[in-house]
Structure 1
Amino acid sequence: MRRRLINSTLAVVLVVIAVFGVSLVIVETRTISSSAQESVDSEALRLISVIESRLLGAERINPGVLAEQIDDTRYALVKMPGRAPIEVGERPSGSVISATEVGEHGERVTVEESRSSVTREVGRTLMIIGAVALLAIVSAVLLAVRQANKLTSPLTDLAETAERLGSGDPRPRHKRYGVPELDRVADVLDSSAERIARMLTAERRLAADASHQLRTPLTALSMRIEEISVTDDPETVKEEANIALTQVERLTDVVQRLLTNARDPRTGSAVVFDLDEIVKQQIEEWRPAYRSEGRAVVRSGKKGLRAVGTPGAVAQVLAALIENSLMHGGGTVALRTRVTGNQAVIEVTDEGPGVPVDLGSRIFERTISGRNSTGIGLAVARDLAEADGGRLELLQQQPPVFALFLSQVALDRDEPERPVR
C-alpha cells in the first residue's frame, strides 16, 4: 500500500507538471520571441527617426553616429536615395529577427538580430522551469512517503490489534493516529476488545463458580449413594434415596442459579420461605462430614423466622459458610438465627483461629484465601446474597462470625410460600 500511495501521488504530480510545464514553456517561448521582435522594431524606428532629424538639419550621417544608436549584437542597413548604403555592425548568419522602417524622404532602415539570443533566453527559461519541476517532484516524493507512512503505520497497528484479538489477547491499546477514519476503526476494535475481555472473564468466572458450587452437592450425593451401596435395609435405602433425590434437586438448582447469575447477576426469584427448614437441611447434610472430622455442627437462636429470598441461593450461601468453617475453622460450628430491625440474620461461627487481620477487609474478594484454597466460595456466596437483596458480612474476625442478612417477613407458620412481587 505504501508503494501504491507513493506511485499515485507521484503520477498526479507528473501529470500536473507536464500539463502546466508544457503550457508555461510555450507561453514563455512566445513571450521571449515577441519581446525580441518588439526590441528590434523599436530600434529600427529609433534609427529612422535619427536619420530624418539629421537630414532635416543637413547634418552628416555616418556609421559612427548610427552605431551609437543600436545594440552591439545587432546589424543595421541604411539606404538613402542618392547615397551609398551604410552598414553598422556585423551581419548575423543563420536565422534572424529583422525589422524594416521607411522614412518620409525614401530612406530605408533594416535592423537584424540573430535568433540565437532568443534561443539562449528560451534555454535559460527551460532550465528554470526544469529546476522548479524537479524540486516539485522531490517535494512530492517526500510528501508522499510521509503521507504513506502516516496512513500505513496505523493500518499495520490496527492489523496487529485485530490479530491479537483473534489470538485471544483482548487488551485494548487505546492508541489513536489523528486520522478520523482510522481512529474510528481503533475505537471499534478497542470496544470489541473490552467486550471480548468481559465475555472471557464471565466465562472463566462461571467455570470457576460452577466447579466450586457443584462440588458440595456432588460430594453429598456421593455420600448418600455410598450409604445405599453398603446397606441391605429397604427402609434405609428408601430414606437415603429420598435424600439423594433432594441432592439432585439442589444440584439442578445450583446449575440454574449459576446460569441465571451469568446472564444477569441481579436476576432473582425471591419468595417468602421458612428459614428453619433451610438451616435444618444444611445441618443434616453437613453433620456426617463434621462427624468424620470429630467435630459438630449445631444451631441456636430464634425459630419460626420467615425471610424473603431464593431458598436455593440461601442454602448455597450457608453451605459455603459451613464448608469454609470445616476447611479453615475448628471446634464446633454454630448456626444462630436472630432478628435485627426488619431483617432476619443467620450467623455462622466456629472455634477456630479466625480470619487473619490482613485479610479481614478483603475476605470476600475472589482469589483471596487464608490457606491454599480457591478463594471463590465466599465471593460467590456474597454475590448470591446480593442477588436476592440481602448481604453477607464478616462481623468478627476472631473468633470468626459471618452473618447473612435477609429481609424478614412476620407471617404465620402455616402460610404457604408465595412469590414476592
Structure 2
Amino acid sequence: MRRRLINSTLAVVLVVIAVFGVSLVIVETRTIGNSAQESVDSEALRLISVVESRLLEDERITSVLLSQQIESKRYALVEIPGRSPIEIGKRPTGSVISSTVEGERGERVTVKESRSAVTREVGRTLMIIGAVALLAIISAVLLAVRQANKLTSPLTDLAETAERLGSGDPRPRHKRYGVPELDRVADVLDASAERIARMLTAERRLAADASHQLRTPLTALSMRIEEISVTDDPDTVKEEANIALTQVERLTDVVERLLTNARDPRTGSAVVFDLDEVVKQQVEEWRPAYRSAGRAIVHSGKQGLRAIGTPGAVAQVLAALIENSLMHGGGTVALRTRVTGNQAVIEVTDEGPGVPPDLGARIFERTISGRNSTGIGLAVARDLAEADGGRLELLQQQPAVFALFLSRVARKRQEPERPVR
C-alpha cells in the first residue's frame, strides 16, 4: 500500500508537470522569439530615423556613427540611393532574425541577428523550467513518502493490535493518529479489547470461584461416600446416603449460583427462609472437620429467625467464614444469631489471633490473604451476600468477628434466646 500511495502521488504530479510544463515551454519560446523580433524592429526604426535626420541636414553618415545605435552582436546594412552601402557589424550566417525599414527618400535599413541568441535564451528558460519541475518532483516524492508513512504506519499498528487481540492479549493501546477514519478503527479495537479483557477476567474469576466453592462440598461428599463404603450397617448406610443426597443438592445449588453470578453478579434469587435450619446444617457439616482438628464449633443466640435471601448462598457464605476460621483461627468457633433493627445478623468468631492490622478492610479484596491461601473465599462470600441485598462485614479484627447481615422477617411471637450446641 505504501508503494501504491507513493506511485499514485508521483503519477499525479508528473501529469500536472507535463501539462503545465509543456504549455509553459511553448509560451516562453514564443515570448522570447517575439521579444527578439520586436528588439530588431526597434533598432531598424531607430537607425532609419538617424539616417533621415542626417540626410535632411546634409550631415555625413558613417559606420562609426551608426554602430553606436545598435547592439554589437547585431548586423546592420544601410542603403542610400547614389551612395555606397554602409555595413555595421558582422553578417550573421544560418538562421537569422531580420527587419527591413525604408525611408521617404528611398533609403533602406536592414538589421539582422542570429537566431542562435534566441535559441540560447530558450535553452536557459528550459533549464529553469526543468529545475523547477525537478524540484517539484522531489518535493512530491518526499510529500508522498511522508503521507504514505502517515497512513501506513497507523494501519500497521492497527493490524498489530488486532493480531494481539487474536492471540489473547486484550490490552488496549489508546493510541490515536490524527486521522478520523483511523482513529475510529482504533476506538473500536480498544473497546473490543476492553470487552475481551472483561470476558477473560469473568472466565478466570468463575474458574477460581468454582474451584474454591466446590472444594468443600466435594470433600464433604467424599467423606460421606467413604463412610458408606466402610460400613455394613444398613441404617448407617441409609443415613449417610441421605446426607450425601442433601450435599449433592447443595453442590448443585452452588454450581447454579456460580453460573448466575458469572452472568450477572447483581442477580439474586432471594426468598424467605428459616435461618436456624441453614446455621444448624452448617454446624453439623463442619463439626467432624473441627473434631478432627481438636477444636469445637457451637451455635448460640436468637432462635426462630426468618430472613430474606438465598439459602444456598447464605450457606456458602457461612461455609466460607467457618472454613476461614478453621484454617486461620484457633480455639472454639462460635456462630451467634441476633437481631439489629430490621436485620438478622449471624456472627462468626473464634479464639485465634484475628486479622493482621495491616489488612483491615482489605480482607475482602481478591488475592488478599493473611496466610498462604488463595484470598478468594471472603471475596466470593461478600459477592454472594450482596447479590441478595445483604452485606458481609468485619466487625472486629482481634479476635476476628465476621457478621452477615440479612433482611429479617418478623416472627409472630418472641422466643427466648438460648445457646445451642
Q: Distance in 2 between matches of 1:253 and 1:102?
A: 125
Partner deviation per Cα, 1:241-300 (whole Å, 9 max, x = no partner)? 221111111111111111111111100011111111111111111111112222211100
Q: State the partner residue of 1:199.
A: 199
Structure 2: state its 5+ residue gaps: 414-421
Q: Distance in 2 between matches of 1:249 and 1:106?
A: 137
User: Greater CA deviation, 196-205 or 152-161?
Assistant: 152-161
Aligned ranges for residues 102-251 of structure 1 at < 5 Å?
102-251=102-251
Q: Distance in 2 between matches of 1:381 and 1:51?
A: 123
- Please tell me whether residue 275 in structure 1 is matched to residue 275 in structure 2: yes
Aligned ranges for residues 245-260 of structure 1 at < 5 Å?
245-260=245-260
Q: Distance in 2 between matches of 1:98 and 1:264?
A: 100
Partner deviation per Cα, 1:53-75 (whole Å, 9 max, x = no partner)? 22222222222222121111111
Q: What amino acid is the match of 2:184?
A: R
Q: State the partner residue of 2:418.
A: none
- Please tell me whether residue 324 in structure 1 is matched to residue 324 in structure 2: yes
Which secondary structure does the structure 2 equivalent of 1:173 belong to? coil
Q: Distance in 1 between matches of 2:17 and 2:50?
A: 48
User: 1:147 Cα shift?
Assistant: 2.1
User: Greater CA deviation, 233-242 or 195-204?
Assistant: 233-242
Q: Distance in 2 between matches of 1:231 and 1:8?
A: 88
Q: State the partner residue of 1:264.
A: 264
User: 1:405 Cα shift?
Assistant: 0.4
Q: Distance in 2 between matches of 1:313 and 1:74?
A: 115
Which secondary structure does the structure 2 equivalent of 1:175 belong to? coil
Partner deviation per Cα, 1:173-206 (whole Å, 9 max, x = no partner)? 1122222222222222211111111111110000
Q: State the partner residue of 2:25.
A: 25
Structure 1: state its 5+ residue gaps: 414-421
Partner deviation per Cα, 1:158-180 (whole Å, 9 max, x = no partner)? 22222222221111111222222
User: 1:4 Cα shift?
Assistant: 2.7
Q: Distance in 2 between matches of 1:324 and 1:179?
A: 55
Q: Distance in 1 between matches of 2:148 and 2:402?
A: 64
Q: State the partner residue of 2:302.
A: 302
User: 1:141 Cα shift?
Assistant: 2.0
User: Greater CA deviation, 88-97 or 75-84?
Assistant: 75-84
User: 1:142 Cα shift?
Assistant: 2.0
Partner deviation per Cα, 1:369-402 (whole Å, 9 max, x = no partner)? 1211111110000000011111101111111110
Q: Distance in 2 between matches of 1:296 and 1:303?
A: 20
Which secondary structure does the structure 1 equivalent of 2:110 belong to? strand
User: Greater CA deviation, 102-111 or 265-274?
Assistant: 102-111
Which secondary structure does the structure 1 equivalent of 2:389 belong to? coil
Partner deviation per Cα, 1:113-171 (whole Å, 9 max, x = no partner)? 00011011111111111111122222222222222222222222222222222221111
User: 1:8 Cα shift?
Assistant: 2.4
Q: State the partner residue of 1:379.
A: 379
Partner deviation per Cα, 1:30-80 (whole Å, 9 max, x = no partner)? 100000001111111111222222222222222222212111111111222
Q: Distance in 1 between matches of 2:369 and 2:79?
A: 124
Please, what TM-score do these two structures have when normalized by structure 2? 0.95
User: 1:83 Cα shift?
Assistant: 2.4
User: Greater CA deviation, 88-97 or 171-180?
Assistant: 171-180
Q: Distance in 2 between matches of 1:294 and 1:86?
A: 144
Aligned ranges for residues 390-409 of structure 1 at < 5 Å?
390-409=390-409
User: Greater CA deviation, 259-268 or 326-335?
Assistant: 326-335
Partner deviation per Cα, 1:317-352 (whole Å, 9 max, x = no partner)? 001111111111111111100001111000001111
User: Greater CA deviation, 377-386 or 214-223?
Assistant: 214-223
Q: What amino acid is the match of 2:164?
A: R
Which secondary structure does the structure 2 equivalent of 1:358 belong to? coil
Which secondary structure does the structure 1 equivalent of 2:208 belong to? helix
- Please tell me whether residue 84 in structure 1 is matched to residue 56 in structure 2: no
User: Greater CA deviation, 21-30 or 153-162?
Assistant: 153-162
Q: In percent, how many aligned pairs have the same letter?
A: 90
Please, what TM-score do these two structures have when normalized by structure 1? 0.95
